[in-house]
Structures are given as structure tokens and as C-alpha cells.
Amino acid sequence: MPVMMAVAFLAGLTGCSRPEPEQAKTVLVVAARPAEDPAGVAIGVVRSASLHAVAAQNGGRVEKLLVDVGAHVRAGQVLAMFDSRAENLKLASATADAARLSAVAEERRHNFKRMDALMRASAISQSAFDAAKADARSTEKAAASARDLAALAKRDLDLTAVRSPIDGVVAARPVRLSDTVAPGTVMFEVDGQGPREVVTSAPAAAVALLQPGMSLRLRMNGSEGRGVVTEIGERVSANSSRDIRVRIASGDFAPGSVVEIVLAPDRTKAAGALVPASAVIAPAGTAKAVFIVTADGRLKRVPVSLKAIGSAGALVDGAVRPGDRVVAAGASFLTDGMAVKPVLTAR
């Protein structure tokens, strides 16, 4: 009897126990966006079509920086100065040598004129006359060479001042005070305030639909403008892209701005939705799919077909609508119907 009572008591406890609640798994989700062909969008940086790179011709140690980014400058204005002590010494020495040799050459010219007059009067020998003539010529050549060296020293001194080639605005200044720069190093970029352009690359299939003169839509942080295709590269790169150059016709896009170029404005709208490429899963032997989070916090596996993929994401067709919460990553480790805690993340 006691044993039967104990068994009945344990059975009663077992019947009263409840299953543990299902633990919701945290997943990162994004909102599916309206469909837009990702191959129809390229990203580029706005630059001035009249941007001039100002490089150091001789190089040296930067002693003075006279302008900063954003400064308005005039053609010929000094932007920076190198340490010029060595160049000043060379110029002083070369100038002194040129002056000394010029004086010697002048003296030898006068001597040759005198010897020439004596020779006409048969007062000196031919050898004395020839020696005076050779002496005058050699000293004149030496004086001319010294003057050339002085001119070169003057040029080197002038090059210790870095000047703007155009009127414009300083767009970049990659050097710092006391830097030692090599000849040819770009020290400033001066924007001539002319037309702006975007030079970028895009999938070759999309670029094949373009032609010079075509008007394209530009976008940046909600603002829009227009651009005109001015140049299309012929070479296809290893990643199947081609270069394009677009001149900005309208829109407030300052040099340095990052803009989207809609390459085929009449073909951007499509059926389906745009989701992160990492959201699309395709386990072996199964169709492609994405997981969406339902209103009750559970996962729903939705079969999709992949129409295109690019930098903007994956364009999918199926029962996915703009605004649906799509699992952004790690979907391969999830199961249909699982309870989840969605965390919205940036695209």
C-alpha cells in the first residue's frame, strides 16, 4: 500500500509539471525595400572637372604653409614655402662667379681689341694675336656658363615657393608643416570652380545601355539632381565593370560628396523587393528563400527567386513585400516557425 501511494504521488507530480517556455532567439532584421535593379546604381565621388594638382618640382622641407583647405587663391599666389637656405647660398655663389667671370671676359675682350689693332699695324706676331683671341673666346664662354648656372640657381630658389596655377579654392592639402617631400609630391589640390563630375565604374552590362549625352538621375541623402554621360570606358576590368564619367548638370553636390548614379532610370522599378544579399539562403537541394518575422514574432520561410545582385543588395521576387522584416544574416542556422526577438539594424 505505501509503495502504491508513492507511485500515485509521483504520477500526480508529473501530470502537474508544465513544459519550459520556448526561448526566443535574437536575430538582426532589415526592412525589405522597394524593388530597384541593383545593377542600375553606381556609387561615385563628386570632383571638380577643373581640379589641379599642385606638386613640388624640386621638393624639400616644408617651412611655411600659407593657405588651408577652403581658402580662395589667385593664380600665382604662394601656397607654401620650402626651406630655401641652401638655394640662397647657391644663388649667391653662382651670382658672384658670374660677375667675376664677366669682368674677366670684359677685360680679355679689351685686350683682344688692343692686340687686333697692333696686329693691323704689324707690331705683334701672329702667335701673340692668336693667343689673345683664344683667351677672349674661352673667358666669354666661361662667363656665359656662369650666367647659366646663376639662372638655374635663381630658378631653384623660385621653386622653393609653391604657387597656385589657377584662380580657385584649395580642395585638399595632404602635406603638413615640416614634412620633407620628394619632387613630384602633390601638395595641394586647387578646385577651379568649374563644372563638377563623377568618375566611377559600374557593371559592364549596365554600362552597355548608356551612351554619351544621356541624362541620368543622381541621388544623395534624399536630394536629387541630374548628370550627363560624357565618357564611357572601352576596357572591361577583371570584375566585369567599365569606367564612366558623368558631368553634373543640376543638384547641390559639392566636390567630395558621395552620390548614387541611377544608370537606367527607366528600368529601375521592378517587381519584388530589395533585401541584403546575405539574407538569401539556398541549402543544398532546396530553393532559394528568405526568413521574414511575422507579427507574432515567429520566423516564416519564404521561397524567392533571385533576379539580380549588386552593391545595393539582392533583388528577389516572391512573397516578400517592401516593409517586411527580413532576417539580414545567419538565416542558414534558423528554422521555420522559430520564435525570435527581432533587432532592427541599419542597411
Q: What is the value of pTM for the model shown?
A: 0.51
For residue 286, name the pLDDT band (cuts at 50, 70, 90).
Answer: confident
For residue 322, name the pLDDT band (cuts at 50, 70, 90).
Answer: confident
Domain 39-49+195-262: CATH superfamily, name plus number: Efflux pump adaptor protein, beta barrel domain (2.40.30.170)
List the grid coordinates of 47: 570632383
For the stretch 214-259, pLDDT in tens is 999 999 888 899 999 999 999 988 878 899 999 999 998 887 788 9
For the stretch 155-176, pLDDT in tens is 999 999 999 999 988 888 999 9
What was the pLDDT predicted at 75? 94
What was the pLDDT predicted at 274? 84
Determine the distance from the C-alpha atom of residue 169 to the mean position of all C-alpha atoms in its chain, rounded to a whole number.
18
What was the pLDDT predicted at 70? 85
Q: Could you tell me the residue ranges of all domains in the chain?
A: 25-37+269-344, 39-49+195-262, 57-82+160-191, 85-158
Find the mean pLDDT for residues 103-132: 94
For the stretch 259-284, pLDDT in tens is 989 886 554 455 678 888 888 888 77
What was the pLDDT predicted at 347? 54
**Where is pLDDT greater, at 25 or 5?**
25
What was the pLDDT predicted at 287? 84
Percentage of the chain lying above the pLDDT 90 cut = 53
pLDDT of 94 strictly over 70: yes
What was the pLDDT predicted at 268? 44
Find the mean pLDDT for residues 175-200: 92
Mean pLDDT, rounded, of the chain: 86
Classify domain 57-82+160-191 by CATH number. Answer: 2.40.50.100
What was the pLDDT predicted at 78? 97
pLDDT of 313 strictly over 50: yes
Classify domain 25-37+269-344 by CATH number. Answer: 2.40.420.20
